[in-house]
Amino acid sequence: EAQVTQNPRYLITVTGKKLTVTCSQNMNHEYMSWYRQDPGLGLRQIYYSMNVEVTDKGDVPEGYKVSRKEKRNFPLILESPSPNQTSLYFCASSFLTGSYGYTFGSGTRLTVV
Amino acid sequence: GQQLNQSPQSMFIQEGEDVSMNCTSSSIFNTWLWYKQDPGEGPVLLIALYKAGELTSNGRLTAQFGITRKDSFLNISASIPSDVGIYFCAGQSPQSGSEKLVFGKGTKLTVNP
């Protein structure tokens, strides 16, 4: 089944403790992206990647890092999480050409205390 | 950056009623997409529109790509309880690569049985 898999689904952590949220897709998509969703603010793009070793900032990149060492994986790294990063995070992927829309993962609900 | 104005922000309707929501922008778009997000899940693509004036249906859902290329609407006929969720519009602009989508902030739909 074609899908985007995120882990974990839920995470509670403390301020300053480094964490990684994994994202993997099995559709051979070139493009991958991370979003955060907050009430009233919709989906805001954090980082995106057009292909292996090619990443760029989205609209709200502060406090986050990403890497794209393999085509299928695009982890989101929070080096020193803070409470304002408490949010619902989504990974998405798509082909680079054509307007087929994104396939989203099921989300990771992160709480930083 | 580019913005999509999606309205209404929320709707409370009775089962069986029809629903209409729309997205507008000051910029033109090449593609309009409509997504639905069920509670606790990631957005799922409902309908994709590729040409100005295009009208596309998916079951009880109908969406149109505005003639000016600056707007789109989504209608749901004879709503049922499982229509509950957040509906997002998304647009792909000529200025960006084919992979870059701009999202509206969503319309939260509640259906009372």
pLDDT tens-digit profile of A50-91?
999 999 999 899 999 999 999 999 999 999 999 999 999 999
Q: Does B48 touch chain A (CB under 8 A)?
A: yes
* Identity of the amino acid at A68: R
Cβ density class A52-75: b for 16+ within 10 Å, e for less: eeebeebebbeebebbbeeebbbb
Nearest CB to A43 within list B30, B88, B98:
B88
Return the sign of the alpha-carbon dihedral for residues A23, A29, A30, A33: negative
Record: contact A101-B103, CB cut-off 8 A? no
Structure tokens given for B21: 């929501």
Strand order in the sheet with B71-76: B5-7, B19-24, B71-76, B61-65, B55-58
**Closest by Cα among B1, B5, B9, B2 to B87:** B9
Q: Which residues of B touch A23 (CB under 8 A)?
A: none
List pLDDT tens digits, range B69-78: 999 999 999 9
Give the model's pLDDT for residue A35.
95
Helices (H), chain A: none
Q: Do A4 and B106 touch (CB under 8 A)?
A: no
The answer to whether the Cβ–Cβ distance between A99 and B106 falls below 8 Å is no
- pLDDT category at B1 given cuts 50, 70, 90 is low
Region for residue B59 given its phi and psi (left: phi exceeds 0; alpha: psi -120 to 50; beta: otherwise): left
Predicted confidence (pLDDT) per residue in B2-50, tens digit: 679 999 999 999 999 999 999 999 989 989 999 999 988 999 999 999 9
pLDDT at B102: 87
